[in-house]
Structure 1
Amino acid sequence: MLTFTIRRLVLSIPTLLLISLVIFLLLELAPGDPTAAQPLTIPPEVRERLREALGLGEPLHVRFVKWIVQFFWVEPQVLIDHVFGTTFSEGKQRLISWQTRSPIMDIVVQRMPQTLWVVGLSYVVGVLIALPIGILSAYRQYSIFDQIGTFVSMLGFSVPTFFTGVLLIVIFSVHLGWFPSIYDTTLVVNSWDNFLAQLRQMVMPVFVLALFNAAQISRFMRASMLDNLNQDYVRTARAKGLSERVVVLVHVLRNSMMPVVTVIALGVPQVFGGAIITEQVFKVNGIGQLLITAIQANDLPMVQTLTFIFAVLIVLFNLIADVLYGVLDPRIRYD
């Protein structure tokens, strides 16, 4: 297992480099100019100096190498400084946002807690709801519980989150007045009242995203359980006198988690990426809203960095899913 993990980590380096090159070229070749928002009365020579100040006067390959070095060497030091209070990145050249003229990683660190509070909690809640629903729906196939679970799952997966979010706002904010319709990102949880206020403003966005996540995962869980409930090893385990709970929750569930682990692991990067639509509906000042704002402002460094962060997380959690396969199924050996 250790050899496989090291081999995959080494192979991920050229993969990430190729992904970074594709992201960089696509965004560089996209139409738009960072000085387009400036007044038209600015002389061409001043506009050109602005472009050079943003680093656009250098050749394409030089800018790509500088961006890669900053992303893999300088920005991790910035993140360590934020977490542990060190000064490794002091005095080093940083990735700067064209829109705000601020270091990109500083903005990401400021926005990340809001995203993790809302999107992260909704993903955990969705997984905790989806797994038991999928297991019971498969074990009691075609029962009333299975039919209700199927209907709710299809509804949650089919209805877009922007419609569900607006519907909840109309019902619970406008008519009933139970929850706030706008997420207050300036709220500091330093008392019991502020903690309750934080919970109240998280209820609707968390429910919207949890419903969507649970609908998808529960369907995978149900289908995987049904595939394993009719296998020969299940009949053998029952013939040996094992209790039904042990057969289902130990033998069947462990083998059924294989495809579900992939779905859950690949969904984790979405947590860090934020829920772009839901954050827009509830005005959550998170990573998703930051990406939309950067795209609208043609802030290429911010868009490149955020997009590549998502790519790194996807590659990382693909590796984690492969490692978990060997943990869940003893028959899988990578070495």
Structure 2
Amino acid sequence: MLTFTIRRLIFAVPTLLFTALIIFLLLELAPGDPMSNVPLTVPDDVKQQMRLALGLGEPMHIRFFKWIVQFFWIEPLNLFDQMFGTTFAEGKLRVISWQSRSPVIDIIAERIPQTLWVVGTAYVVAIAIAIPVGIYSAYRQYSFFDQAGTFITMVGYSVPPFFSGVLVIVVFAVNLGWFPSIYDTTHKVVDWDSFVVQLKQMIMPVMVLALQITSQISRFMRASMLDNLEQDYVRTARAKGMGERTVVMVHVLRNSMIPVVTVIALGIPAIFGGAIITEQVFKVNGIGQLLITAIQANDLPMVQTLTFIFAVLIVLFNLFADVLYGILDPRIRYD
């Protein structure tokens, strides 16, 4: 397993480099000019100087090489300096946002806690609900619980977040007045009362995100459990007198989790992209809203970095899913 993990990490390097090249070229060739937001009263010679200051006067391959060096070398060195008080990255050029003139990674680091509060909580809640629901629905197939769960999950998976988000705002914020309709990103948790306020403003965005995630995972869990409950090893275990709880919760569940692991692992980076809509609806000042703002402002360094971070997450969680396969199923051997 260790050899497989190292081999996959080595193969991930050219994959990420190729992905970075594609992202860079697509954004470079996309229509739009970062100087389009500059007032018309600014003279052309000043605009040209601003363009050169942003590095737009250099050839495309030089800009791509600098961006790669900054992302893979200078930014990790800067993170190391912040953690241990060293000065390895001092004086080195970092990836700078064209919109705010600040280092891109620093801006992302400020936004990540807001996204993790909402997205991370939603994913944990969704998994905690989806797996038990999927297991019980499969074990009690065609029961009232199974049919009700099927109906709710189908509705939850079909309704887009921009509709469900507005719906919960109208019901719980406007009509009932239980929760705030706008997420206050400046709020800090310092005591129990501030934690309750934070919890209240998280409930609606977490509800919207968790609804879709729960619907997807529970359907996969149910289908996988139904497939394994009909296998020969289940009938053999029951014929040997093994307890029903042991058969279902140990043998069947372990084998059923193999395809579900893929959905859970690959859903983690995907939900960061999916949170873009939810963050816009509830005004969560997170990564998703940052990406939308950067696209609207033609802030290419910010868009490139955020998109590439999503690509890195997908590659890493693919590897994580493959490693879990070997843990869940002893028949799978990578070495």
TM over 0.5: yes
Match of 1:297 in 2: 297
Which residues in structure 2 correspond to 1:27-38 (within 5 Å)? Answer: 27-38=27-38
Match of 1:162 in 2: 162
SS at match of 1:27: helix
Contact 1:294 1:303 in 2 (8 A): yes
Shift of 1:41: 3.0
Match of 2:152 in 1: 152
Match of 2:309 in 1: 309
SS at match of 1:31: coil
Match of 1:173 in 2: 173
Match of 1:269 in 2: 269
Stretches of structure 1 lacking an aligned partner (at least 5 in a row):
none
Q: Distance in 1 between matches of 2:85 and 2:176?
A: 45
SS at match of 1:35: helix
Q: Distance in 2 between matches of 1:88 and 1:223?
A: 52
Shift of 1:137: 0.6
The alignment status of 1:104 with 2:115, answered yes or no, reads: no
Q: Distance in 2 between matches of 1:26 and 1:293?
A: 18
The residue identity in structure 2 corresponding to 1:108 is I
1:87-119: CA deviations, max 9, x gaps? Answer: 443322110000011110110000000000001
RMSD of equivalent CA atoms: 1.2
Shift of 1:80: 3.6
Q: Paired residues, what number?
A: 335
Match of 1:189 in 2: 189
1:209-257: CA deviations, max 9, x gaps? Answer: 1111000000000001111000000001111111000000110000001
The alignment status of 1:319 with 2:322, answered yes or no, reads: no
Shift of 1:44: 2.3
SS at match of 1:72: helix
Percent identical among aligned pairs is 75
1:57-99: CA deviations, max 9, x gaps? Answer: 1111000000000000111223344555554433221100000
Stretches of structure 2 lacking an aligned partner (at least 5 in a row):
none
SS at match of 1:275: helix
Which residues in structure 2 correspond to 1:194-233 (within 5 Å)? Answer: 194-233=194-233
Q: Distance in 2 between matches of 1:83 and 1:165?
A: 38
Q: Distance in 2 between matches of 1:247 and 1:181?
A: 46
SS at match of 2:79: helix
Shift of 1:273: 4.5
Contact 1:274 1:286 in 2 (8 A): no
Match of 1:66 in 2: 66
Q: Distance in 1 between matches of 2:272 and 2:79?
A: 15
Q: Distance in 1 between matches of 2:272 and 2:190?
A: 25
Q: Distance in 1 between matches of 2:211 and 2:186?
A: 26
Contact 1:276 1:288 in 2 (8 A): yes
Q: Distance in 2 between matches of 1:194 and 1:316?
A: 35
Q: Distance in 1 between matches of 2:82 and 2:229?
A: 49
TM-score (norm: length of structure 2): 0.97
